Copies of this chain bind each other. A is one copy, B any other.
Amino acid sequence: MIKNADRIYYGGDYNPDQWDEATIDEDMRLFRKAGINLVTLPVFSWAKLEPSEGVYDFEWLDRLMDKFLENDIKVCLATPTTAQPAWLSKKYPQVLPVDKQGRKRTHGMRVFFCVNSPKYRERAAAIAEQMAKRYQNYPNLVLWHVANEYGTYCYCPTCQEKFRQWLKARYGTVENLNRQWHTCFWGRTVYDFDEIMLPTELNDDYRFNPTVNLDYMRFMTDSTIECFENEARVLRKYTPNVTIQTNISGHIEKLDQFKMTRHMDIAAWDNYPAPGADPSFVAFKHDLMRGLKNGESFMMQEQSPNQQNWQPFSKLKRPGEVRMLSYQAMAHGSDTCLFFQLRQSIAGQEMYHGAVISHAGHENTRTFRECAQLGMELQKIGDAFLGGRTPADTAILFDWDSWWALEYASKRCLPNDDFNYLKKVSRFYKAHYDRNLPVDLLSVEGDFTRYKVIYAPYLYIMKPGLPEKLKDFVEAGGTLVTTTLSGLADENSKAVFGEYPGALREISGIWVEESDPLTKEERNRMVMEGGFLKGAEYSCMYQCDIIHPRGAKVLANYGDDFYKGTPCFTVNDYGAGKVYYLGTEPDSAFLDDLAAALAADAGVRPPYRADAHVELARRINDRNDILFVLNHNKQEASLDLETDRFTDLITGKQVTGVTTISPNDVMVLKKL
- Residues of A near any B CB (own CB < 8 A): 15, 17-18, 44-48, 51-52, 80, 82-83, 85-87, 89-90, 101-110, 112, 181-192, 194-205, 208-211, 306-307, 309-316, 318-319, 344-352, 358-361, 365-367, 412-418, 492-500, 511, 513-519, 562
Contact = CB atoms under 8 A, between A and B. Distances in A.
Contacts of A497: 346, 359, 361
Contacts of A415: 307, 309, 311, 313-314, 352
A347 B497 CA distance: 10
Contacts of A85: 187, 189, 191
B494 A349 contact: no
Q: Which 3 A-B pairs have the closest CB atoms?
A: A108-B203, A182-B347, A83-B187
A313 B366 contact: no
A197 B352 contact: no
A513 B203 contact: no
Contacts of A17: 184
B211 A348 contact: yes
B511 A349 contact: no
A364 to B, nearest CB: 9
A563 to B, nearest CB: 9
Nearest to A43: B187
A313 B416 contact: yes
A306 B45 CA distance: 59
Given A17-B184, A309-B413, A360 B511 contact: yes
Given A209-B349, A319-B562, A46 B187 contact: yes
Q: Which of A86, A112, A344, A412 has the most CB of B within 10 A?
A: A86
B351 A192 contact: no
Given A103-B102, A349-B412, A351-B413, A306 B44 contact: no
A166 to B, nearest CB: 18
A516 B18 CA distance: 26
A392 B414 CA distance: 42
A188 B562 contact: no
B313 A47 contact: no
Contacts of A197: 106-108
A671 to B, nearest CB: 34
A655 B358 CA distance: 63
A87 B345 contact: no
Nearest to A414: B352
A352 B313 CA distance: 39
B346 A313 contact: no
A516 B519 CA distance: 37
A633 to B, nearest CB: 16
Given A52-B191, A87-B195, A195-B90, A360 B112 contact: no
Contacts of A348: 182, 185-186, 188, 208-211, 413
A309 B108 contact: no
Q: Which of A89, A318, A348 has the most CB of B within 10 A?
A: A348
A361 B513 CA distance: 11
A498 B205 contact: no
B360 A513 contact: yes
A202 B414 contact: no
A202 B345 contact: no
A52 B189 CA distance: 12
A108 B210 CA distance: 12
Contacts of A413: 309-310, 348-352
Given A358-B513, A361-B497, A367-B514, 20 more contacts: A17-B184, A44-B185, A45-B187, A83-B188, A101-B103, A105-B203, A107-B195, A109-B205, A182-B346, A209-B349, A210-B349, A313-B517, A316-B514, A344-B495, A351-B413, A351-B494, A351-B495, A352-B415, A365-B514, A366-B513
